[in-house]
Amino acid sequence: MTATTDGSTVLLDDRLCLALYTASRAMTARYRPLLSEFGLTYPQYLVMAQLWEDGDSPVRRIGERLSLESSTLSPLLKRLEVMGFVVRRRSEQDERSVLVSVTPKGEVLRERAAEVPTEICAASGLDPLAQAALVAQLRLLTSRLVQSLESDK
């Protein structure tokens, strides 16, 4: 059991970790039926969204931006390539780097999936301002947790 500053115990249902975990699972589950229409998993959709936003990206940048390990990202990119949504190629400037680009088929997918963020926002019950505030709070929380981990090293 976790104790508060006054010595009382925090019940599981009142712990931040459980609230974040269940919210994350609910968000992923809410995306599932929307993305199944396109044959995408949630992580695949995040990669596509990142590429649509940033354009051609090194694999390393995608992993950093989405907090995905190489062992997760490499097979995911291979599946997206087999599906025809992306193409991977070695960088001409640095052969150690692999660039990922959206294909024309991937651009068509972008148009077809354009309403997904709007549908998710509506399902959340949050207006755009409330959503932006929550995102800012979660980014701050993430930053603090990462700093805490780094200071423990």
Average pLDDT over residues 79-83: 98
Radius of gyration of the chain (CA): 19
Pairing of strands 2-3, 57-58: unpaired
Q: How confident is the model at residue 2 (pLDDT cuts 50, 70, 90)?
A: low
- Number of neighbouring beta carbons within 10 Å of residue 43: 15
11-113: CATH number: 1.10.10.10
Mean local confidence (pLDDT), 105-121: 96
**What is the per-residue burial (b if ≥16 Cβ within 10 Å, else e) of 10-39?**
eeeeeeeeeeeeeeeeeeeeebeebbeeee
- Does the global pTM surpass 0.85? yes
> For the chain, what are the domain ranges?
11-113, 115-153
Q: Kindly tell me the burial class for residue 116, based on how many C-beta atoms sit within 10 Å of its own C-beta (0-12, 13-18, 19 or more).
A: middle
pLDDT of 91 reads 78
CA–CA separation, 87 and 141 (whole Å): 35
Residue 142 pLDDT grade (very low, low, confident, very high; cuts 50, 70, 90): very high
pLDDT of residue 152: 87
Q: How many residues does the structure list for the chain?
A: 153
What proportion of the chain, given as a percentage, has pLDDT over 90?
Answer: 84
pLDDT tens profile 41-60: 999 999 999 999 999 999 99
